[in-house]
């Protein structure tokens, strides 16, 4: 199974190798920049040019949470290996760590001088890696919101 996002504001789940569309998600109002499965496989997180991050419950075939707080397009998203946190990277120069259980922003990471274009949690740790249009990479400890590198 593969999930793709597109300029048509939709995400699609595809079965491989036959290429059949299993599911489609509607709700974003601008292009999709990222899609990532929750480690348990029960949910999906998406990021969009509409400045939001959405969490989708696959069994319900719909969006269950819309996370708002970025000032510009969201360029990427990912799940923490615990399944309790989602991270997002934005053209507003910040990254956010979202607590999935409370549906709130836990931390905003400031420090890049340009758009934050990608974000990834290092597996089974509290470390987040961000990359920016300012031509830098940063490592963060999201528990203390401190920049490690």
HSE of 18, CA atoms in CB hemisphere, 13 A: 4
Range of the domain at 140: 2-147
CATH code for the domain in which residue 86 is found: 2.130.10.10
Q: How many domains does the chain have?
A: 1
- Answer left, alpha or beta for residue 134, where phi above 0 means left and psi between -120 and 50 means alpha: alpha
Q: Provide, rounded to the nearest whole percent, the portion of the chain with pLDDT above 70.
A: 100
Q: pTM for the complete prediction? A: 0.94
Q: Which runs of E-coded beta strand occur in 6-126?
A: 11-14, 21-25, 32-37, 43-48, 52-57, 62-68, 74-79, 85-90, 95-99, 104-109, 116-121
pLDDT averaged over the chain?
96
**pLDDT band, very low/low/confident/very high, at 148 (cuts 50, 70, 90):** confident
- Give the whole-angstrom CA distance, residue 25 versus residue 93: 27
């Amino acid at each position: 199974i593969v999930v793709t996002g597109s300029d048509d504001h939709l995400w699609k789940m595809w079965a491989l190798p036959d290429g059949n569309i299993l599911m489609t998600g509607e709700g974003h109002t601008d292009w999709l920049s990222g899609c990532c499965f929750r480690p348990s496989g029960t949910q999906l997180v998406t990021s969009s040019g509409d400045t939001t991050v959405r969490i989708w419950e696959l069994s319900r075939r719909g969006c269950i949470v819309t996370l708002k707080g970025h000032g510009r397009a969201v360029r990427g998203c990912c799940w923490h290996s615990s399944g309790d946190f989602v991270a997002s990277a934005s053209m507003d120069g910040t990254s956010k760590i979202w607590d999935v259980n409370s549906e709130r922003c836990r931390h905003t990471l400031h420090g890049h001088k340009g758009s934050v274009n990608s974000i990834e949690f290092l597996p089974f740790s509290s470390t987040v890696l961000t990359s920016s249009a300012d031509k830098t990479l940063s490592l963060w400890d999201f528990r203390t919101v401190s920049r490690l590198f």
